[in-house]
């Protein structure tokens, strides 16, 4: 992966960043990173925002544009949308619900196999994140000071399908709850379909 692609990946997974912060992550000088970002801006892949700093000049943060987001593609988006519309036309909403239920069962079975044998909730969430990453979601887990966990998905490879049929998102949330088991609360706190950069789920032991 070249440096330009590394920078795009970091903006995808970490959100808006300064050139100085990115420089520390890729081993370049801030000036070198700014040159790369300005070249990407010329291509329409990134943009920037300037906010007032405590002292001196404004702080410039770089972020992906919609075109930059497209470098992390939605899997087979056009075909998926055609299939959704075809199922709706031929079998109605009931047929679409059956399709989603079948997908849900397949995903749940695969994820249960991944978390089997994990003794702790942290291990189960980590195994689930690994499984989701294999499916293209660029998932990671972040522990919180209160003992809860954030399951973060930096990319949605079925975003177009989810926009056309939001039952896909509802289905995924229910699968997570069942896979992680009784006594575990899973709440979606960030959602790409509502304008967030990523999807994030707060996972904790239920009261």
Answer yes or no: are the C-beta atoms of 204 and 184 closer than 8 Å. Answer: yes
pLDDT at 5: 87
pLDDT range class, residue 93, cuts 50, 70, 90? confident
Report how many helices (DSSP H) and strands (DSSP E) the chain contains, helices first: 8, 6
**96 and 31 both lie in a single domain:** no
For the segment 24-37, the average pLDDT, to the nearest whole number, is 90
Q: Which residues contact 105 (CB under 8 A, 6 or more apart)?
A: none
Total domain count, the chain: 2
The parent domain of residue 175 ranges over: 77-205
Confidence (pLDDT) at 141 = 95
pLDDT of residue 171: 79
Kindly state whether residues 56 and 122 are assigned to the same domain. Answer: no
Do 21 and 94 fall within a single domain?
no
H helix intervals, 54-120: 66-69, 77-115
Domain end residue (candidates: 69, 92, 126): 69
Based on the fold, state whether residues 165 and 85 are members of the same structural domain.
yes
Tokens at residue 78, please?
Answer: 């056009």
Q: pLDDT tens across 32-71, in order? A: 999 999 999 999 898 888 877 666 678 888 888 878 887 7
Residues 99 and 134 in one domain: yes
Q: What pLDDT score does 160 carry?
A: 64
Q: Using DSSP, state whether 191 is helix, strand or coil.
A: coil
What is the tens place of the pLDDT at every residue in 150-181? 999 988 877 766 666 667 777 788 899 999 99
**What kind and span of H or E run contains 188?**
strand 184-190
91 and 150 assigned to the same domain: yes
Burial label for 112, CB within 10 Å (0-12, 13-18, 19+), is middle
136 pLDDT band, cuts 50/70/90, is confident
For residues 133 and 168, state if they share a domain: yes
**Stated pTM of the model:** 0.69
- 124 and 142 part of one domain: yes
CB 157 within 8 A of CB 135: yes
Which CATH number goes with the domain that contains 45?
1.10.10.10
Residues of 120-138 as b/e, b for ≥16 C-beta within 10 angstroms?
A: ebeebbbbbbebbeeebbb
- Are 126 and 24 within one domain? no
Domain ends where: 69, 87, 103?
A: 69
- Tell me what pLDDT residue 92 has: 83
Q: Is the pLDDT of residue 203 over 90?
A: yes
Domain co-membership, 19 together with 82: no
Whether 131 and 46 map to the same domain: the answer is no
pLDDT for 115 equals 94
Cα separation, 129 vs 125, whole angstroms = 6
């Amino acid at each position: 992966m070249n440096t330009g692609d590394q920078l795009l990946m970091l903006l995808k997974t970490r959100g808006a960043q300064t050139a100085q912060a990115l420089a520390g992550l890729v081993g370049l000088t801030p000036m070198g990173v700014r040159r790369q970002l300005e070249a990407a801006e010329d291509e329409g892949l990134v943009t920037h925002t300037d906010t007032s700093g405590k002292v001196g000049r404004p702080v410039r943060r770089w972020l992906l544009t919609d075109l930059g987001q497209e470098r992390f593609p939605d899997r087979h988006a056009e075909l998926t949308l055609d299939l959704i519309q075809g199922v709706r036309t031929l079998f109605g909403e009931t047929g679409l619900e059956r399709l989603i239920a079948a997908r849900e069962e397949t995903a749940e079975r695969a994820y249960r196999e991944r978390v089997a044998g994990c003794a702790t909730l942290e291990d189960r969430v980590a195994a689930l994140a690994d499984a989701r990453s294999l499916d293209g979601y660029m998932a990671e887990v972040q522990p919180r000071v209160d003992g809860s966990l954030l399951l973060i998905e930096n990319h949605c490879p079925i975003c177009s399908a989810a926009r056309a049929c939001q039952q896909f998102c509802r289905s995924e949330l229910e699968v997570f709850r069942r896979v992680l088991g009784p006594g575990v609360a899973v709440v979606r706190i960030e959602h790409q379909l509502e304008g967030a950069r990523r999807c994030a789920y707060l996972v904790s032991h239920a009261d």
